[in-house]
Amino acid sequence: MDKKIIEEKVRNFLINDLEIDSERITPDATLKDDLGIDSLDFVDIIVIVNREFGFKPEAKEMIDVKTVRQFCDYIESKLQ
């Protein structure tokens, strides 16, 4: 899947499913501090990623994922 498509899907579910203001979503925005994503949101993210991309993210693999860019890179790596 093309990286731009991944970024667009991530952006869309952050806005529509997690109700994050689109202006706050930048590649370098941190998921926790800048976007306010908490542990309950991460449960939702697992379900959404499984629905949108066809795999279930593993918590141990997500430990170093801090920014929107890193999250998109993680998804891209799992789809290769």
Taking the CA of residue 17 as centre, how many other CA atoms within 13 Å lie in the half-sphere pointing to its CB?
Answer: 19
Q: What is the pLDDT of residue 52?
A: 97
CATH number of domain containing 10: 1.10.1200.10
- In the chain, the amino acid numbered 54 is G
Q: Based on the structure, what is the number of domains in the chain?
A: 1
> Which domain, by its residues, includes 61?
3-79
H runs (alpha helix) in 1-80: 3-16, 39-53, 68-79
Instruction: List, for residues 15-67, the tens digit of each pLDDT value.
Output: 999 999 999 999 999 999 999 999 999 999 999 999 999 999 998 999 999 99
User: Which pTM does this prediction carry?
Assistant: 0.94
Q: What is the pLDDT of residue 61?
A: 94
Contact indicator for 80, 71 with CB cutoff of 8 Å: no
